[in-house]
Amino acid sequence: MGEDAGFTAIAAGAAVAAYSFLGFDAVTTLTEETIDPKRNIPKAIMLTALIGGGIYVLVGYTTQLVHPGSNFVNSDSAAFEIATTIGADLFGAIFLAGMVLAQFTSGLAAQASASRLLFAMGRDAVLPPKLFGGLHARFHTPVFNIVLTGAIGIIALFLDVLSAASFINFGAFIAFTMVNLSVIFLVSKDAEAKRQYGVIRGMLVPLIGALVNLWLMSKLDINAFILGLIWLSIGLAQLAYLTRFFRREPPEVAFDDSEPESGSVSAKATL
């Protein structure tokens, strides 16, 4: 952005850059397939966030030393341009091959987590069970969800990096905002939680977090904002249908602390 970049420009960049830190929570979608999930899933979330954050900070710092500023021939290929600056064409080719491989593996991880989440929602009747809650008779995987997420992912072929990141970030900011507001709601309704966390940690901090997320969301690409609102409206319409226009409680996710037996749906729903 350069030395003359204002606060608004920095905020807009931060709204897009937040994409780099998303995904650490995706490990929670494989809780049922994890040994001792109460112990290992929280640890995995924290380690993923800390290790991934450390790598991003280190890479961001070193690349700024190599290529200060944000002036590139093509912003969508900025990483390749930096790589060729570091080690000429040979290192650039190696870097490009590694980046292609990383994109495929990242896409597979995203497809696995998204399809597994859709399966859980279908199984608990949040989404139509026959479509989203079914498993393949032989492979014991939610085939419909896998194909659906893959088909939606193909749309990325027609988007530039900025638009794709903005689309993803809109959903992330909405989710993070709802998480913060949920904390406020739960603390306000639970006297024990209110005593334990107090007004500052239990209500003020989540409120600040929700406002920051909404503010960053407002800096996203306008097309992503419009499409995100349409997607959000579809979700609200589905919620209204499930709750008979909010006259009854929505379906809840069924939590089972017992270990799934070998051959059961829970144990076999692996991706």
User: Which residues, at least 6 apart from 128, have a Cβ–Cβ distance to it below 8 Å?
Assistant: 122
What is the C-alpha to C-alpha distance for residues 184 and 252, in angstroms, rounded to an integer? 20
For 29, phi then psi, to 5°, come to -70, -15
Structure tokens that stand for 197 in this block:
């966390």
For 83, phi then psi, to 5°, come to -60, -40
8 A C-beta contact, residue 220 and residue 170? yes
Q: Which residue in the block uniquely carries the two structure tokens 């995203």?
A: 110
8 A C-beta contact, residue 11 and residue 219? yes
What is the C-alpha to C-alpha distance for residues 41 and 85, in angstroms, rounded to an integer? 40
Question: What's this model's pTM, rounded to 2 decimal places?
Answer: 0.65
Q: Mind listing the pLDDT tens digit of every residue in the chain (271 residues)?
A: 445 556 666 666 666 666 666 777 777 877 877 888 888 888 888 888 888 888 888 888 888 888 776 677 776 677 778 888 888 888 888 888 888 888 788 788 888 888 888 898 888 888 888 889 888 888 888 999 999 988 888 877 777 777 777 777 888 888 888 889 999 988 888 888 888 888 888 889 999 989 988 888 887 778 777 888 888 888 888 888 888 888 887 776 655 555 544 334 443 333 3
pLDDT digits (tens, 9 = 90+) for 123-159: 888 888 888 988 888 888 899 999 998 888 887 777 7
Q: Which residue in the block uniquely carries the two structure tokens 């309704």?
A: 189
pLDDT digits (tens, 9 = 90+) for 7-46: 666 666 666 666 666 777 777 877 877 888 888 888 888 8
Neighbours of 111 (CB within 10 A): 19
